[in-house]
Chain A
Amino acid sequence: MDRKDYKGIWVFAEQREGVIQKVALELVATAKKLAAVKGAETTAVILGSGVAKLADALVAAGADRVLVADHELLARYTTDAYTKVLCDLVTERKPEILLVGASYLGRDLGPRVAARLGTGLTADCTGLEIDPESGNLMMTRPAFGGNLMATIECAERRPQMATVRPGVFEAPKVAVAGTAAGAAPAARKGAVEIVKPALAASDLRVSIDKVVKTVKEIADIGEARFIVSGGRGLGCRENFAILDELAQALGGVVGSSRAAVDAGWTDKAQQVGQTGKTVRPQIYIACGISGAIQHLAGMQESDFIIAINKDESAPIMKMADIAVVGDLFKVVPELTAKIKAAKAS
């Protein structure tokens, strides 16, 4: 392998049922920054059936080039079809870096692709930088349940591959295809190329028989501007009612720590942290959460953090912009009342 043959930064742009996933836009914006350091091109690769129309959003997000692999067998994600098409493209065009969102799909696809290409893959990166000396990608990720941050390099093999969890990097503010908002700057132009992958039904060894969408009554905490989170200190499921009231007053949603999910008080979809969701709301209010690094890893990018805890020495208190030392069962209702009053005035 001659490393010099590998050029440009690629983003696997995940779409589901014709909708570009936000993590794809986050990664394109990140790739663009890395590409600027290297003087390289940013390419978004999108796989699907009839998805060419999604290319504009990727260009608006910062892609210089969009590769659209269009095939009816790509309509729904399957490991076999997506691995084959992505690997064939990489082998043919030789990108230096390939970024993949660490969604369920990305974490199924990424390792399969890396193994086929015989290259390294760093999972769930929270930081990506180009090393000024070597020009290699420095990939930083949490390890040991978030207790440690490790910076990893893939010096010899190409492409350098990383998965990044949704919400870790900021999404560019662009109009997504299908919406009327005209935020996409008309000046940005990118080359869109449609490729017809060689794919046969016999390539797919796993067949999807049924797709079940469970009705999500729980708001997506990844999208919320205000999150009120509860942990072990809440004591029981019923006590989350006071957090619901505070979240409602703010116009936000309720999140939780892993401890509360494990105790069965809250839903897994509400879990903030390394094994839950990474969030970056405007305001994050942590109630009765001690702040295991596992949890901090998922919320430390929040704009403004308020921690309410009896224990002044709890790790979350050091992370907070406002650390309220006190009984959350007294402080939270007072805060709800004050916020309601402030909003009404």
Chain B
Amino acid sequence: MQNRRNSLFLLAAALLGAGLCVAAEPAYRLQGRAAPDFALRATSGSNFRLSEHRGEVMLLVFWGSRCGQCGTQLTSLSHMVDTYRSAGLAAFAVNVDDDQVAAAEFAMAHPVSFPVLLDPAKAVARQFQVDNLPMLLLVDRAGVIRHVHRNYRSGSDAQYLDQIKILLDE
């Protein structure tokens, strides 16, 4: 009897956990739609406009200096972008910190091979309905948002890579 009760408790906990996981990953309303165009200044001083990269597969990652996983993700993405740049992969890391000095220091500590753009007013983050950091979007060659990833876990890189390869082949 006690065993049965324990089993039922575990089952209920598992269902609740699964429910919470589903609730933690709400549907992204822009998926399947054209990525909004924007222009932002990079830490290097140059300006970048998204629409100028139409025809390339674009990887957009929104990050903040107080996000624990962001540094690891950026370093990992940098290697991936280096490998697939010649195949038509472009990447932009959009920082949403209010403090641009903190953002620049974080970017210096985690150097990446792609432009780090500054969005202190969060206008672009609002356009893209960013609700979590880090948040990664994959945009196809036609400018349509195809994949969204909230959070960064072990195994995320392999998933990104599979999706990037498919988008590059299209």
Our verdict on whether A and B bind, yes or no, reads: no
